[in-house]
Amino acid sequence: MSVDANKMYGAVEAGGTKFVCAVGAGKEIIELCRVPTTSPEETFDKVIQFFQSHRHNLCGLGVASFGPVDLNPESKAYGFITSTPKPGWAQTDLLGTLRRELGLPLAFDTDVNGSAVGEAAYGAAQNLQDFIYITVGTGIGGGVITNSHLVHGLVHTELGHIFLPKHPLDSYIGHCPYHGDKCFEGLACGPAVSERWGIEASDLSTEHKAWEIQAWYLGAALSSIICAYSPQRIILGGGVMDVPGLLEKVHKQTLAHLNGYVKHPDIQENINNYVVKPGLGEHAGVIGALELIRRKLESQGSSV
Amino acid sequence: MSVDANKMYGAVEAGGTKFVCAVGAGKEIIELCRVPTTSPEETFDKVIQFFQSHRHNLCGLGVASFGPVDLNPESKAYGFITSTPKPGWAQTDLLGTLRRELGLPLAFDTDVNGSAVGEAAYGAAQNLQDFIYITVGTGIGGGVITNSHLVHGLVHTELGHIFLPKHPLDSYIGHCPYHGDKCFEGLACGPAVSERWGIEASDLSTEHKAWEIQAWYLGAALSSIICAYSPQRIILGGGVMDVPGLLEKVHKQTLAHLNGYVKHPDIQENINNYVVKPGLGEHAGVIGALELIRRKLESQGSSV
């Protein structure tokens, strides 16, 4: 696909560690910049600066953000990052700031919903009606697509906070400020691995038993997710999943936890193709954000 | 609503304890019969006998069944109850038997999906796009509606088998033959309550601490479900929920487990209206089965 300079979009994947900003169309990114997430003011300044230099080429801007966020267009806080525990970021008007400074049509969703939309359009979930995108990194979250549509519901999903049983040999108190050692994120996000073993997760040997326990939790979560949604595929992204061998351990633990209860050849006979890494790699979120705004403008019949 | 004798439907709610058969239309049931679930042959004989006496009045038959079931119309086992642990019932051709004997147009789904459709049409989920129907009885299951559509996915949901943490004072080994004490059903179905305390659940005083622990598990499951789907409402049916005071305990425990993480006035300020009993009471399933066949025939433009 070649990029038509008249149909270019901007995209922001707003994360707790960095904001990834891009200009592109479809799955093609023609320019990309990473802005460290510092204070909202400083971060927004750099993001706006990036897009202002491309302003005249852009039809609109897609924003996929860490959360919790307010996705209700009727709400006064629409487009805000709301009750995040991230210092300085609670009740931040992300979308309003971008609208005021850039004056572009905007689309807005959670980071993981953005990634799910990207994977559906160009990645590992093409032609699937029901799948889950999960990221396991600094936090854990999931984008849920059922019957080919994103699930938003009352607020938005918070898949990192489903509860899990405790591994029988794990005495770690958990990382979640809300749920301690009861929830998926509290037990299995990157910082939980680091805290459990008293060493940066990235410094743990790939042979360390940490990864067996991590795979046990991820397998338990995936077994729950299979029971909850009956997806056609699960995509596992995020930095933690880059650990060599971890995905294969997760395949085994998912089947072990399910224990044959949900029976389907796609699961039992083809787990390597059922639980997969993102087809778009680390660009799932930002390509998804491009797709969010493209779809919104096309559904509105805008002249893009 | 009055019943037009030319637009009557049959409905079967096939359960592990009884098959509820009905003739009616909309939410109006004009005749109902309960057949104990014994052997498939004996049970089917009585079900067929009931409908044969109404055969000339019926436009079609909706069937909502316990499972696991095969819902894929392309599959050889479509309409079968598949890998159930219920003795004598594994690989039973429920739908095929009814088709051969009654020769009526049929609609087929899980029991809990039937109940969810019934509640959406005439019960506690009217005008809601995103909600969950859960039954807590001999087993635990859930019907999931997102964006106004049932979630089926690869097989169907198995909400009773999502995993939960263990209550700190509970040493019960769990009732689930597949997941022991790790899953919702293993910890909180009716037989689990009876086994945990060595006394029939129905004989436990409403003051017994059993119900505090039961509410703890139900609250944990509901907190997970809120994080997983972000529903606008959760409907809690099934015999166990008839215990006086249990629903109120579940309200408290759901909020305690969520611990303020997902914030919405519908949850924090209005939990009594957020987690509710079925609007159709024990008839949710059979009214849902009537609705399944009505919708199917109307969507096909059949002359009903």
**How far is it between the farthest Cα atoms of chain A?**
59
Q: Which chain A residues in 192-221 lie under 8 Å from chain B, judged by CB atoms?
A: 220-221
- The predicted pLDDT at position A2 comes to 54
Chain A residue whose CA is closest to B187: A165
pLDDT tens string B101-150: 999 999 999 999 999 999 999 999 999 999 999 999 999 999 999 999 99
Q: Do A179 and B257 touch (CB under 8 A)?
A: yes
Residue A40 token pair: 């909202």
Give CA–CA dist B130/A153, Å, rounded.
6
Give CA–CA dist A71/A81, Å, rounded.
10
pLDDT tens string B46-96: 999 999 998 888 999 999 999 899 999 999 999 999 988 889 999 999 999
CA of A9, closest CA in chain B: separation in Å? 28
Chain A residue whose CA is closest to B161: A227
Top CATH class, A8-110+289-299: alpha beta
Beta strands in A15-78 (DSSP E): 18-25, 28-36, 58-65
Please state the length of chain A. 304
Given phi > 0 = left and psi -120 to 50 = alpha, else beta, which region is B159?
alpha
Please answer whether residues A94 and A109 qualify as being in contact, where contact means their C-beta atoms are separated by less than 8 angstroms. no
Q: Which chain A residues in 65-94 lie under 8 Å from chain B, judged by CB atoms?
A: 68, 82-83
- The predicted pLDDT at position B302 comes to 52
Chain A residue whose CA is closest to B274: A154
Q: Which chain A residues in 247-276 lie under 8 Å from chain B, judged by CB atoms?
A: 257-264, 266-267
Q: How many CA atoms lie within 13 A of B62 on its CB side?
A: 31
- The predicted pLDDT at position B55 comes to 82
- The predicted pLDDT at position A3 comes to 58
Alpha-carbon torsion A52, A54, A55, A61, what sign? negative
CA of A55, closest CA in chain B: separation in Å? 35
Prediction pTM value: 0.96
Please answer whether residues A132 and A299 qualify as being in contact, where contact means their C-beta atoms are separated by less than 8 angstroms. no
Q: Which residue type, as a one-letter code, is found at position B269? A: E
Q: Which chain A residues in 223-242 lie under 8 Å from chain B, judged by CB atoms?
A: 223-232
- The predicted pLDDT at position A126 comes to 98
C-alpha pair distances (Å), A270 with each of A236, A248, A251: 16, 12, 10
Mean pLDDT, residues B95-99 = 97
Q: Do A230 and B154 touch (CB under 8 A)?
A: yes
Spell out which residues of chain A touch residue B179, defining contact as CB-CB under 8 Å. 257, 259, 261
Please state the length of chain B. 304
- The predicted pLDDT at position A303 comes to 46
Other C-beta atoms closer than 10 Å to the C-beta of B292 total 27
The count of CB pairs under 8 A between chains A and B is 167
Complex-level ipTM: 0.96
Spell out which residues of chain B touch residue A261, defining contact as CB-CB under 8 Å. 158, 161, 178-179
C-alpha pair distances (Å), B154 with each of A128, A210, B90, B157: 10, 32, 20, 9
CA of A227, closest CA in chain B: separation in Å? 5
Q: Which chain A residues in 115-154 lie under 8 Å from chain B, judged by CB atoms?
A: 129-130, 144, 146-147, 149, 151-154
Q: Do A164 and B165 touch (CB under 8 A)?
A: yes
Spell out which residues of chain A touch residue B220, defining contact as CB-CB under 8 Å. 163, 182
Report the SS3 class of residue A245. coil
**A168 CB within 8 Å of a chain B CB:** no
Spell out which residues of chain B touch residue A127, defining contact as CB-CB under 8 Å. none
- Considering chain B, what percentage of its residues have pLDDT values greater than 90? 92
Q: Do B259 and A156 touch (CB under 8 A)?
A: no
Please answer whether residues B293 and B11 qualify as being in contact, where contact means their C-beta atoms are separated by less than 8 angstroms. yes
CATH fold for the domain made of A124-277: Nucleotidyltransferase; domain 5 (3.30.420)
Q: Which residue type, as a one-letter code, is found at position A85? A: P
- The predicted pLDDT at position B301 comes to 76
Alpha-carbon torsion A16, A20, A26, A28, what sign? negative
Residue A258 token pair: 């399910």
Chain A residue whose CA is closest to B155: A230
pLDDT tens string B142-201: 999 999 999 999 999 999 999 999 999 999 999 999 999 999 999 999 999 999 999 999
Point out the residues of chain A with pLDDT beneath 70.
1-6, 302-304
Spell out which residues of chain B touch residue A160, defining contact as CB-CB under 8 Å. 227
Topology match between the domains A8-110+289-299 and A124-277: yes
- The predicted pLDDT at position B108 comes to 98
Spell out which residues of chain B touch residue A151, defining contact as CB-CB under 8 Å. 130, 146-147, 229-230
pLDDT at B100 over 80: yes
Domain ranges of chain A: 8-110+289-299, 124-277
Spell out which residues of chain B touch residue A260, defining contact as CB-CB under 8 Å. 178
pLDDT tens string B191-245: 999 999 999 999 999 999 999 999 999 999 999 999 999 999 999 999 999 999 9
Q: Which residue type, as a one-letter code, is found at position A163? A: F
Mean pLDDT, residues B96-101 = 97
Spell out which residues of chain B touch residue A267, defining contact as CB-CB under 8 Å. 154
Return the axis-axis angle of helices B94-102 and B40-52, rounded to nearest 10°: 40
Give CA–CA dist A151/A161, Å, rounded.
16
